[in-house]
Structure 1
Amino acid sequence: MKAAGNNRPPASKKAASGSKKTERHVANKIGKVFLTLFLLVVITGSIVVGTLAVYILVFVKPENIDLTNAQLKFTSMIYANDSSGNPQLVSQINGGENRIWVSIDQMPDNLKNAFISTEDQRFYEHEGVDWKRTIGAFANFFLHFYSTDQGGSTITQQLIKNINGDTYNRKPGVKIAEIVTALNLEKKFSKDQILESYLNTIPLGGSSYGVEAASESYFGKSAKDLDLAQCAVLAGLTQAPNSYNPLKHPDKAKTRQAYVLKNMLDQKMITQAQYNQALAEPLTYVGQQPAIRSWFVDQVINDVIDDLVTQKGYMRTRATSMVLNGGLKIYSTLNPTVQTAMDNVYQTNANSSDIWLAGKNGTYQSAMVIMDYSGAVLGLEGARGAKTTNLGFSRATDMLRSPGSSIKPIGVYGPAIEQGLISWSSTFQDSPPITLNGSPWPHNDDSWSYQTMTVPEALAQSKNTIAVRIEQLVKPATTVNFLTNKLGFTTLVTKADKNGNSDMGLAVGIGSLTKGVSVETMAAAYQPFGDGGLYNKPYTYTKVLDSNGNVLLENKATGTRAFSQETSTIVNRLLQNDVTNGTGVKAQLSSTTVGGKTGTTDNGWDRWFVGITPDYVGATWCGYDDNKEMYTRDNPSVIAWHAVMQKIQSALPYKTFPVWGDVVQGADGGWYKAGTQPQ
């Protein structure tokens, strides 16, 4: 018999069996570890996704972006009617961001495709978010796969940034909010609406925002007229608009253009032949410097801002922002023919000795306003010489100067005739009516004649003495009230200022005013003498539309009565006599009837002429800004007025003024209200 111990397996077999058990045990351990890790990842991921979902649902609210009413800065447009009455664009206004909206159906397919190929190849396939790019961008944010920040924004997401201005913030929380907003936006608006808004808001270098503004700035044409090569240049600007600005860096812009064209070729948006042709096309850029706006356009801007404040109750900052950035359409009263004639005299020939007389103290300044009898301002010059700044000081509207004798028809003779205090044949002595500070007052331009003069003689020779004598009959308070309430004067002083000055004395009758009056106000005040006694407040625009086409402001002629028709006719003939026989003789035109009145202040600082024709009324001022003596050989305002009006009226048929009201011509040749003429 064999011993029991002899039945055991050999030691080597026992060792092998133990090793397998150990391996299985280790494998089981490892498997459990991996399973545990996997389950931890799944659970953690679920927790993260769940937490993220809760975060999005509870804390992330999509922005309520309405593409039809996005609060963007858009360029405002000012229009003027051409000779056929059709509105033409005369100026574009922006507050630093030039953005002109253009509809998507006015954009070439190549322009749309150029942007899509470069910025969002799957634009028409995703629902606002390109998840492949988004996940890659998020992973790169933490793990830095790429050497640069890899963006995942779609065109929809970029549009959101353009609207809310949060262009550079790439924090995860901001990106999540952006994603949610993009998904929400695409549920409310079509792809074309989103693409249209994007292409109209994207910054494209300098002050150009949107493809229309950029197209005009770089190529001098509308976006609808761009060719393939030019479309690719604009699309290439999106990554770094200023770095690839073709005006500053044409070589870099060319490199980016080639990149865009290759994208379009690879995505079968263009053929190889189109690619080759566009790549070989020479590129030329026009470049647009910030324009110096005209005096007229500046006045339109100021008037719209003022009216938004006074009529709509807006704060001035909001009103200004609306005009500069609100995409308004402003229809002005500008008459290009009138303004061109004025520009020729005031700018092109600003130093011509044939127009501008030599001043006693060197080159003097001047301003002029022309309007029609509805109050519509047709042309305006705020200075003599080239305009060098925008929204600067305008001598036509901002400056207040004493009008001298040009106030006599509207403040003295007109009211006196209206009240029946004087008539054409009334006579007065040319002598000082009062003593002021121990001296006879007032003085004339020449010496006192002590002769008796009729009303037309006194006005034609601009006798201050007789104007004051008539003012004694009218009374200064009546003159001040009449000018303020009937003729739009807003600067007359009714109570003595700290220096004891006011306009309630006899000096108001000869135009010696405490604060003065603007050129525009003087032009408007003469309207009644060319339009049967009616006055209209001057205005520079007829209508303002907001960015949605709604009427925001509107101006219409109202025609309030300032003088009776009879007084208007009589003063009109007095003004014609002044041009025929008096101080305004050099304002005569062979092409039409002219009436008007000169003005010179006692100190010689200011020279005026306000003239009327059957078509227009215009006021001109000349003088030194620093109040130096102005005396020249003749009145330079008369010469300048004539030079402008000769150009304007020569193209129009000859006209005469009608007789308004019940007025008759007497045997003495004078004009009288019926029943008052001398027998």
Structure 2
Amino acid sequence: MKYTKNNIEKKRTELSSAKVRRHAKISLFLFKYILIISIVLIVTVLGLGAGFVRGILKTTPQISKESVHSKGYITTIYDNKGTKIKTLSNHDSNRIYIPLSKIPQNLQNAFISIEDERFYTHNGIDLYGIIRATFLGIKTQSLSQGGSTLTQQLIKNNILGIQPEKTTIERIERKIKEQSLALELEKIASKQYILEEYLNAINLGEGTLGVQTASQKYFNKNVSDLTLSECAVLASITKNPTRYNPITHPENNASRRLLVLKKMLEHHYITKEEYRKAVSDDVYQRIKKNASNPSNENKPNTYFEDALILQVVNDLKSQLGYDATKAYNAIYSGGLKIYSTQDSQIQKIANEISNNPENYPAGTKVSLTYTLSVKDINGTDVTYTENNVLNYMKKHNLGNSLIFSSSKKAKAVSKKFRKSIQRTGATILNEFISTPIQPQISITIINQSTGEVEALVGGRGAKTSNLSLNRATRTTRQPGSTFKVLSTFLPALDYSKMTLATVYDDAPYHYLDSNRPVNNYYSGYRGFSTIRDAITDSMNIVAAKTMADVTPNISYKYLKDLGFSTIVANKITSNGKTYTDINQSLSLGGLTYGVTNLELTNAFAAIANGGTYHEPSLYTKVVDQNGNILLQSDSKSQRVMKRSTAFLLTDAMEDVITKGTGTSASLASGMTAAGKSGTTTNNYDYWFSGYTPYHTASVWMGYDRNTDFDSNDLHKKIWSKIMDKISTTKNEKKISFKKPSSIVTANVCKKSGKLAIDGVCDHDPRGNMIVTEYFEKGTVPTQTCDTHVAVEICKKSDSLANKHCPEKYRKQKVYIVRQKNSPGITADTPYLLPEKYRNQVCKAHK
């Protein structure tokens, strides 16, 4: 445009025209409107943003030093020597708390170098890191580029936990909460406190929480013993615990470990020489070797550990008022230290001998345990068990027992059953099949002087799950003749003033309360027999007769004092039937429910301990994470029989092993031992319970489902092998059972139990019947034998001699007498005084 006078005038005219002025006004209006709208929008957005942030902050939890402290920690179980044998944890408690003072400086610096290099200078939020993460986020179109400080990571792990972060808004919300709480935490906690909590909370792969647990997992050592190279390995994991797992992805971890070491060098945490040494360390070979070693941590609990957990749970509930949930949480995430009574040497011996196939009858079989859950065609959930399988087998002529010659055959039958259910249109939801080896076994070993359980075996074969069937503590079986000593002869000696010399006639007999016949395991009847004989040779009729005199009520009281929790006085079942164990068959162990191996063993332990009963305990103390004692075994004890009673029973049970029904249990080591065997009706259960001066043990052998079999005394031999091995392994001194001062001896006749008559009792046609017996002071008999009688016979007339019979025809004979109308023919019958010698006098000499 040329700026001439005419052109300028022309332009002025155009600009001052009405049309131009009108457009200018419109443009100015629009500009002002848009400006106002923009300001309103900006203010609105800022207001909404502020409201959004305020809303988030309102839902942000309050923070305190205690709230960031990790809540779940590994519980450790120790044996009776203080050696760790097991750790317990759940998915969020696999950690062992360790103070910062025991965490190497190299490890602290490694995490700071790679995760939060400005940790000691920021106030919980690293602005430089946020800006860097933002630019990286824009570049990669991702908001997952880090920027979180160690403080923020601690907040995320221990306070915010798992929150949904599917959308950008949710991720922003979580970041705002993290940063807000991080600022607050830095105001109330020191850097050292935050770092300690972080290092105990961080996930380091496969659910391993905290540096102490990770150190033990990957290097089998405490964190305080880690090298620089090993510290760098752990610090490399946290960015992505799966991708940088040093066991499954060593190459990924190695590359990041190198970065960690470079960062530590850059920040002058290590020297060049330390850097070079760490870089050249073949650390992953050590990790690989350690990972290849079998670990108890991933194995199911042992039977002892199962029983221990249940006892601790029960005591937390009964003594501290915990409910079940709180008790289990304490055990699996409370960081407890449980000091058990298990003797690892003894447990190993019991495990090895009980799992040796050579110690069982030939032709070992299996039983079927089965559960099938289905949804039938009507949509109803139905569960079938092995009992349904048995009915199916009987119906289709496939057998009448759930005992099979092999696991393969058991599974084949269960497969047929499952198919039969599927043919009905049912949908299979779940199936469980187990074929435990048979016969099974249970073993309990107790230190009788303390009541501490030293070892438990709840079964043989592979244990595949926790809290599975424990035949030592949770299964009840009929105790058979082992019970005679406890139910009958103990109260007989202790309460009823009987002695080991007390005599009963082993002759045909019926229970007084049921009129059922009592049978011995042997054929025939042995006639007059002492209580010692009855214990030594396990005589049923003598036991039943003794019980009648003791009375079942007295017996029941003694058994309760011995700790038997499964016997019943008056049990009414859901079907209205009433059961009681207060009857005469208690003498032979005929019980409603049976007993557990643990309680039976502990009852014998009371005898072994001189008559003092201890409650059986599987732990000595339980300590919390802070070192406070929560539970402590106080070895509650009470005298349940006199010392003299315990000694008398022990002495008689020594005879069981040396010459009675328990000779197969004799110890090759020469250690003194006493015990009692037991076999139930139909040969379902085989027991041997006994003790040395140091340990009490019981062995049970039988099928889980009652099955007749012959143990060939192998259960007794297992007992013997275990006790012999313990004695030699422990190098135990061979000593005798201690005899109390209240014990005296006397010569008695074993056919009457009374003082022996020289020249009579020792002239029984079967041999000398005079024995030296132990007695409690005050119980020695005062009367002389009235069972043996000596008569003088005239050989010429074969009748009683009179005063005129010449000496050469006289002969003394010794016979025995029974009460009038005594039933049956016994071993004494041939030696009874003939009727003719009672009143027929010689008539040949006058």
> Structure 1 residues 147 and 182, CA, compared in 2 at 3 Å: closer, same or farther?
closer
> Structure 1 residues 429 and 29, CA, compared in 2 at 3 Å: closer, same or farther?
same
- Verify the 8 A CA contact 2:125 2:148 in the aligned structure 1: yes
1:594 pairs with 656, 666, 673, which one?
A: 673
Matched, 1:629 2:624: no
Tell me: higher relative CO, structure 1 or 2? Use CA pairs within 8 A at least 6 residues apart. 1
Matched, 1:344 2:352: yes
Matched, 1:425 2:431: no
- Verify the 8 A CA contact 1:246 1:253 in the aligned structure 2: yes
Residue type of the alignment partner of 2:691: I
Aligned to 1:489: 564
Matched, 1:673 2:681: no
Aligned to 1:509: 587
> What is the deviation of 1:131?
2.8
> What is the deviation of 1:16?
9.4
Aligned to 1:110: 106
Which aligned pairs between 1:329-408 and structure 2 lie closer than 5 A? 329-347=337-355, 350-352=356-358, 355-358=359-362, 363-372=438-447, 373-408=449-484
| Residues in 2 aligned to 1:453 and 1:534: alpha-carbon distance in whole angstroms | 29
> What is the deviation of 1:515?
0.9
- Verify the 8 A CA contact 1:398 1:518 in the aligned structure 2: yes
Residue type of the alignment partner of 1:328: L
Residue type of the alignment partner of 2:74: T
Residue type of the alignment partner of 1:610: S
| Residues in 2 aligned to 1:506 and 1:637: alpha-carbon distance in whole angstroms | 28
| Residues in 1 aligned to 2:38 and 2:666: alpha-carbon distance in whole angstroms | 102
| Residues in 2 aligned to 1:578 and 1:519: alpha-carbon distance in whole angstroms | 20
1:654 pairs with 697, 719, 734, which one?
A: 734
> What is the deviation of 1:391?
2.5
Aligned to 2:527: 451
Which aligned pairs between 1:3-14 and structure 2 lie closer than 5 A? 10-11=5-6
- Verify the 8 A CA contact 1:592 1:654 in the aligned structure 2: yes
Aligned to 2:226: 226
| Residues in 1 aligned to 2:9 and 2:651: alpha-carbon distance in whole angstroms | 141
| Residues in 1 aligned to 2:364 and 2:105: alpha-carbon distance in whole angstroms | 65
Residue type of the alignment partner of 2:717: I
2:86 pairs with 87, 91, 110, which one?
A: 91
| Residues in 1 aligned to 2:439 and 2:51: alpha-carbon distance in whole angstroms | 77
> What is the deviation of 1:53?
7.7
| Residues in 1 aligned to 2:30 and 2:124: alpha-carbon distance in whole angstroms | 44
> What is the deviation of 1:427?
0.7
- Verify the 8 A CA contact 2:96 2:212 in the aligned structure 1: yes
CA shift digits 1:113-166 (9 cap, x unpaired): 22112211111111222233346667888x676445223321111112211323
> Structure 1 residues 428 and 18, CA, compared in 2 at 3 Å: closer, same or farther?
farther
How many residues align structurally?
658
Aligned to 2:319: 311
> Structure 1 residues 182 and 661, CA, compared in 2 at 3 Å: closer, same or farther?
farther
- Verify the 8 A CA contact 1:244 1:252 in the aligned structure 2: yes
Aligned to 1:3: none
1:639 pairs with 676, 698, 717, which one?
A: 717
> Structure 1 residues 20 and 333, CA, compared in 2 at 3 Å: closer, same or farther?
farther
| Residues in 2 aligned to 1:506 and 1:202: alpha-carbon distance in whole angstroms | 65
Which aligned pairs between 1:145-544 and structure 2 lie closer than 5 A? 146-164=141-159, 165-166=161-162, 169=165, 170-282=170-282, 283-284=284-285, 285=287, 286-287=290-291, 290-347=298-355, 350-352=356-358, 355-358=359-362, 363-372=438-447, 373-434=449-510, 441-484=517-560, 486-495=561-570, 497=573, 498=575, 501-544=579-622
Aligned to 2:760: none
- Verify the 8 A CA contact 2:597 2:700 in the aligned structure 1: yes
Between 1:271-280 and 1:99-108, the stretch displaced more is 271-280
| Residues in 2 aligned to 1:324 and 1:123: alpha-carbon distance in whole angstroms | 33
| Residues in 2 aligned to 1:181 and 1:148: alpha-carbon distance in whole angstroms | 20
> Structure 1 residues 186 and 152, CA, compared in 2 at 3 Å: closer, same or farther?
same
Larger Rg: 2
1:563 pairs with 612, 631, 641, which one?
A: 641
- Verify the 8 A CA contact 2:511 2:585 in the aligned structure 1: no
| Residues in 1 aligned to 2:262 and 2:678: alpha-carbon distance in whole angstroms | 72
- Verify the 8 A CA contact 1:421 1:473 in the aligned structure 2: no
TM-score, with length taken from structure 2: 0.71
- Verify the 8 A CA contact 1:237 1:244 in the aligned structure 2: yes
> What is the deviation of 1:447?
1.4
> What is the deviation of 1:209?
1.2
Structure 1 unaligned blocks of 5 or more: 1-7
Residue type of the alignment partner of 2:608: G
Aligned to 1:5: none
| Residues in 2 aligned to 1:147 and 1:129: alpha-carbon distance in whole angstroms | 20
CA shift digits 1:450-472 (9 cap, x unpaired): 41111101111101111111111
> Structure 1 residues 120 and 467, CA, compared in 2 at 3 Å: closer, same or farther?
same
Which aligned pairs between 1:54-69 and structure 2 lie closer than 5 A? 59=58, 61-67=60-66
> Structure 1 residues 390 and 157, CA, compared in 2 at 3 Å: closer, same or farther?
same
Aligned to 1:4: none
Aligned to 1:79: 78
2:629 pairs with 551, 554, 564, which one?
A: 551
> What is the deviation of 1:250?
2.3
- Verify the 8 A CA contact 1:80 1:335 in the aligned structure 2: yes
Aligned to 1:122: 118
Structure 2 unaligned blocks of 5 or more: 366-404, 406-437, 748-770, 783-846
> What is the deviation of 1:67?
4.2
SS of structure 1 residue aligned to 2:735: coil
Residue type of the alignment partner of 1:346: S
> What is the deviation of 1:501?
4.4
Between 1:370-379 and 1:247-256, the stretch displaced more is 247-256
| Residues in 2 aligned to 1:173 and 1:69: alpha-carbon distance in whole angstroms | 20
Cα RMSD for the two superposed structures: 3.4
| Residues in 1 aligned to 2:704 and 2:139: alpha-carbon distance in whole angstroms | 66
Between 1:491-500 and 1:362-371, the stretch displaced more is 491-500
- Verify the 8 A CA contact 2:353 2:722 in the aligned structure 1: yes
Residue type of the alignment partner of 2:709: M
> What is the deviation of 1:47?
5.2
